[in-house]
Structures are given as C-alpha cells and as structure tokens.
Structure 1
C-alpha cells in the first residue's frame, strides 16, 4: 500500500483526528493510537486498521514513554488545544530536536495562533467562522449546518491527512520533517474556495437559498415521490434540462424560461406536483440511462445495494457485519485495503507495540505493574 512502512502515533481525540488516522491506516500506515489509561470504552468509531497503546500521561514515566514512541515515528498526529503538549514537554519543537525528520501534525479548530487559538468549539462554530455557514440554508430560513461534515471531516481530518502526505513527500527531498498547523476553520474555508472564486461570475450574488446551487433553482433540488421517497435533480445545462422536461412530460414552450429567477417558485411547484405523481422506482425507470441528472436519494441502508455502488464494491463490511465506505480514491498499483477487524480495545496492543519499538519484556512488565501502561483484552505474552 502507498503508505506502507510509515509509523504514525495518533493521540486519541474526537472525530477529525481519528478520521485522519483512519485514512493513513487505510492506505497502509502503521497507526498506533495512544489512549489514556482507565479511560473505559473507546469512542473512536474510525479506528479500523489502528492499534491501541494505553499510557498514563499523569506520570513522568508515561510522558517519557510517549516521547520515545514519538521520536521513533514518522508522524505525530495531535488533536489537543494549543499548549497541552508543550506542558508535557512534548511540543513539536522539543520532539523535532530529537528527530528532525518528524512530521508533527496539529489538528485543531482555530489553529495555533489568533484570539480563538485556545477556545473550545465544534464543527458548527468552525463552519460559522469559515464563512460557509452563512451560505447554507433555504430561502427565508436561518443558516443550518450539514451534519458535522464540512469542518470536522473535510476541512479537518481529510485536509490534515493531505498535509501529512505532502510533508512526507517533501521529506524525501529534504530529509527534514515539519510542523503542520491544521485549522478546521481554514480547512473548511479552503474546501469552499469555489464559493469565493465564483462570486464574481454571479453564482452567489442573490440571498441565501435563492442561488442556483443552494436550493434556489428548481432544477437543482430534491423532490418527494408518491411513495414518500425522494429523488435528486441536477439538470443545470440546457441539454440536460431538456431531458428532464422530456422525462416529466412537460412542454418547455408552456413553461417559464429556465433561468427566469422570478419564475423559479412556480416552476418548483410544477416539478413538485409532477414528481409526486409517481414512485421513486417509476422515476428511475424513466430517467436511468438518460442525462437528465436525476438520481435516487438513497438511505444509508440502501446505498450499498444500488447496482452502481454494488458493481464497484464501494462499501465494505467488517468482521461484525457493519458496513462503511471503502477507502477512496482508488489507486491502480497500491490500493488501500480497509481492515475488516473491529477497532481496538483501549490498550489492546500495548505490549505488542512496545516490543516493536524496542522495549524489553522486563521493562514492559515493570511499566504494567506500576500502572504506567495498561494492556486490555487477551493477556499479552511478554
């Protein structure tokens, strides 16, 4: 796999950092998640392909151990607020002195500088600060956040993974590591670059919910069908719009012009009534094989069984039968391989990993006895 041989230490956190770590693991990196001892059950739902070491960071021995793991690794992925690692003496400047080739990724909401650098927040706050939240919502309604996808995962975990891969690539030339300051505010804003860049051509010069791509246009929206399902319509270009009207059996000459903004509410009413006259399956029989840009709105339970997704094996099941998306994108020579084993228990691989990092059985036994580390699950062979 593409990242085979890359050692990653991921400090346990919520949503964005685990997703970043899962991406790296999916593509072959050796990802070790460092959990706190006495932490109970893990909340990491994106732990496939990772191993867990449980370390008591309230002890000097635990901090020293984490330092040794970090400086022997290629990447450190850290999700804490600004200053937490520095208080432990494990900030990037300290670790890079011992391992100049280390890539130290800091994934936070607001970044490592600025007035909010130490403030708490969540996806909705970062999205609000990025400017994107102001664009999301129906006409006349308040802004709404689309789950926690844009800041946590697109602007956070995915963007941070890109930064790590870029730093690893650059390291092949310079031999040097570097610090990655991954801000979810900035990452989300960067994902939304199209919004900024296309304002000048008139795509976003109307109020929220009244533009072509934000639910304003009736030919770019979702519609309820007779069986209480939905279809998604994206017939923007004239040639696609004509095929949409043909499938709906509507005469273009009897309708308002496609780009008449003032007539969009009436056009939406007509489309709504027409789509509500048939079931989703009926509409798919009409539109599949055309370029009308009409697709079913699939539930999470339906998506893997759709013929297109099924043909591509776009979703995988783990050993417990739980389904999730296959890693993307597909690489022709070194494709990712999603681990089918469930995520690790906290501390499940403590002994195994410490041995790989050069610790002797006697040293590990001593740390276990002193409570510096924990090993969960099946009793490890020392």
Structure 2
C-alpha cells in the first residue's frame, strides 16, 4: 500500500489546458473521491494517475516512487471502470483469476485465490456462470474481484456504479466501502454524484475547471464551503442563496423580503447561504413567502417556496408540517449559527457554520 501525491500536475491538449497545476496528497489507506461537474478534470486526473494520459508538466508519485512517466503496468495500480470490461467467454472464476494467469501464476493457485475472493464478495455460488448470466451489480463485483486479486498499492475507480439502477447503486456502494475498509488499500474514486462522494469518502476533493475548489472531510466541505460553487454543488437539495444586506439579526433581500437569522453577521451587500434543512417556514397569514409545492418523502418533506419571485427550498420533518399547505403564506427564519455569508462579487465565503472537519482550498 502507498499514498499518492500530485505536485504541480498540468494536462494540456494543444492550447487547451484541462488540468491546471494540480496539487493533492492522498494518505496511505485513504478513500479519496474526486467530485465535480462534467469537464472539471476529475477523470483526466485519474487517467494521468493510471498512466492512461501523459502529464504535460508536474509529477505524480505513488509511495516513494515517481511514476509520472511509467507505463500503467509498472505503477502497481488496479482500475475499475464504468464499463465492467469482463471477458464474455470466461466464467466468474476465470475472470477474477485472469490477472494472475496473465503473470504466469500456476492455474491451480490462481483459481484457488479467485475462489477466496469470490466468496468474500458474495459470488461463491456464481463461480461457473458467464457474465451474460449475471446482474449489473454482480458483474461489477466480479470486476472489483479482478482488481483485488492483483493486490495493488492503489485502487482507481472511474464512475464504476453509473450503469446500475438506484437500488443496486446503494447496495454496491456499501459493499465497495466495506471492501476498501477491510483491505485498507489507498483508493481514488471519480464521480459527478456528490451524494456518492459524501457517503464513500473519508476525504473529498471538489474540482472545478481543472483545479481543486476545496478539499477536506465530507462533513467539513459540506458545513464550511469555501465559495458559492461548492456550497451549491455539495448538498441535496442544494443550498439556498440570496443577495441582500444584514441589519442586526435580520437579513433583507434585494427584493425587500426579510429572514430572521438569529445571529448578527457581516454588513454591506452580501450573499446569504442557508441549507434547506436550516430554513424554517412558519405559517403566517401576513407572511411574504408562499408555499409552492410540498413533496412528502416519508419522515420528511421538501417544501418549495416562492419568495417574491425567487424560489427557495426547505426540508421539513413530517411532524412539523401542520399548518403548512400549498398556496399558504409563511414567514422564514434560519437556525442560529447555520447561515453562510459570501462576498457578493467573488463568491468567497466569509462567515458560516462551524464544523469538526479540517478544510483546505487550493
């Protein structure tokens, strides 16, 4: 096992630069998720680590080795793709054993090790089946087993769950996390799904335009976003943002709507950020906000509000829905200490909720 380090890594295609001077250090045994919108450079960064893309400048290290210019086979990594890439003519046992057979490991030893790994992945009763006879989740576990059998220093995952339906994604995500925790192998995982990033990672790196927007623990990034981009990208439903000014503990939007925030904050023109879980609608006949839609999701509901033409979202426990009805009027307040204040021009965060996570931005 080994840690991973990117030092000033840049990737350009002609005059177009897709990754800019990227610095990141991933500790030995960590599970790091690179997350961001399409085109942010996360997959390119992973492919440079794998040796599938050349590095324009900078260095990539695995442990104490500079692997910047090494061929993929010499980097001691294993990669699991979105496409399972299983051999259709081989059985589950043979697919898992293939990397050992390719290195001339005796057949009996390779198949025995494949059986052990298959059992640990819940595939013990499927060893004789071909890929076409497996579900999507089972095929993905075979692909993971094929990666595990190599006992690499680093696991690389390129959106491996994208082809699965919602139920299988959750189940396979749990299995994947348990496998990584059990093996303790440094893992780097790419996804555009921020919920997947939050649940899988012990370290999350949010990327934007080929750069690190913010890095830290999932809780730290969620609770202390460094700017409005991270604030609205991480979290579902996304953070509410409103332009306006503070007067004491009251925030007045540019449209004249007031929200009681329970804490004195910055003065002057700012952007206020409030997570939907922290925005509290209270029924009031003279309220300036209107309940536009209520979506009940079992123990909680997502309430969409119209605030003088602006749309806000609140997450409300089902038990607190009494008095709230579509078309009804409400006033709004935010939980004390739960608001985030951003500079209106730069979008950078200046005030916000505290967290136990350690965040850094680069």
TM-score normalised per structure 1: 0.30
Higher normalized helix content (fraction of residues): 1
The TM-score with structure 2 as length reference comes to: 0.31
More strand by share: 2
